[in-house]
Amino acid sequence: MQKVFILLIGLMISISINAQELNCQVQLNDQQVEDTDKSRFQTLQSAIYEFMNNRQWTNNQIKTEERIECTISITFSKDGTSRDNYKGTIQVQSRRPVFNSSYDSPMLNILDKQVSFKWVEHDPLNFDINSYTNNLTSILAFYAYIIIGTDFDSFSPLGGTPYFNNAQTTVNNASNSGFLGWASMGSEKNRYWYLENIQNSRYEDYRNFLYRYHRKGLDQMFENLSQGRVETLNSLKLLQNVHKARIGLYTMTTLMDAKRDEFIGIFKDAQPNEQKKAKAYLMEIDAANAAEYQKMVQGSGR
């Protein structure tokens, strides 16, 4: 009996150590598709869920409770979606726990409008980092690496580099596929440009922000709220640097979409001088939504 108990404990430890990196929820919206039999979308949803969650994306030992919380939402369009051909948009969101709290900080909020792929029902979803297999798994793998790289950047300076490199390999392999989103031509709000923004040394302060804001700022607030808020304020200077280097950068747009409400929440109870600085930074960086930052003042009661 004791041997069985030891064996079970060992198995539980093994499962915990070798858990995959992502805890990804998958949502498919097929309401625009005119099809009397939509069971294939349920099959596809299950296949994507297994692909994202059951694959080991890194060589790191990840505990079950350390898996990255994320969501993949695909909305299929009426035009371009047929029995084996699919077209639509994909929204990618992820979040990160804040140390010693029950709060999860939003990390990504990307809406990719250039999604199309061919998939025959019940075909397995295969991916090989060294070659191009199909567009669906390339898109999913690309965003898996972006999610992981962004998360790792927030825990150590430039810690996500290996995973962004894998995302770059995925882009390179898919660049001649003929599908949109993988090339520099056309819209600058695509997968190619998102990764280019991350890896371009001119915009490295974007990645420096991820570490300073989360690890030095948010993670310290439990022990020292005022000091943590100072660090989050100082980290906005890094975003200002990126904004000045290139106005309207794609990564900056998606970051603000993810963080806008959080920024407002953090600084609405700040000291007046901190609030004033934060408001100035944010209204410059995110000018299109400047009115939103008035909520910081309104919410403070000052």
Closest by CA to 210, choosing from 229, 238, 230, is 238
Q: Judge whether residue 301 has pLDDT over 80.
A: no
Reported confidence tier of residue 296, pLDDT bands at 50, 70, 90: confident
**CA dist., res. 248 & res. 232, Å (int):** 22
Helices (H), the chain: 2-17, 39-54, 135-153, 161-174, 191-199, 204-211, 225-245, 250-267, 272-285, 294-300
- Tokens coding 41: 């979308």
pLDDT in tens, 57-89: 999 988 998 999 999 999 999 998 998 999 999
Q: Judge whether residue 46 has pLDDT over 50.
A: yes
**CA dist., res. 43 & res. 56, Å (int):** 22
Reported confidence tier of residue 115, pLDDT bands at 50, 70, 90: very high
Closest by CA to 195, choosing from 237, 258, 141, is 141
* Sheet strands side by side (includes 68-76): 22-29, 68-76, 85-97, 104-118
Closest by CA to 22, choosing from 65, 55, 67, is 67
Using alpha carbons, list the distances in angstroms from residue 96 to 63, 127, 154: 15, 26, 9
**CA dist., res. 33 & res. 80, Å (int):** 10
Closest by CA to 33, choosing from 68, 92, 74, 94, is 74
Reported confidence tier of residue 172, pLDDT bands at 50, 70, 90: very high
- Tokens coding 146: 């972006």
What is the per-residue burial (b if ≥16 Cβ within 10 Å, else e) of 272-283? eebbebbbebbe
- Tokens coding 180: 């949109």
- Tokens coding 82: 């047929």
Mean pLDDT of all residues belonging to the chain: 91
Closest by CA to 68, choosing from 19, 102, 32, 34, is 19
pTM: 0.92
pLDDT in tens, 87-98: 999 999 999 999
Mean pLDDT of 255-261: 97
- pLDDT at residue number 298: 57
- pLDDT at residue number 159: 98
Q: Is 137 helix (H, G, I), strand (E, B) or coil?
A: helix
Would the CA dihedral through 194, 197, 198, 199 be positive or negative? positive
Q: Are 192 and 198 contacting, i.e. CB atoms less than 8 angstroms apart?
A: no
Q: Is 109 helix (H, G, I), strand (E, B) or coil?
A: strand
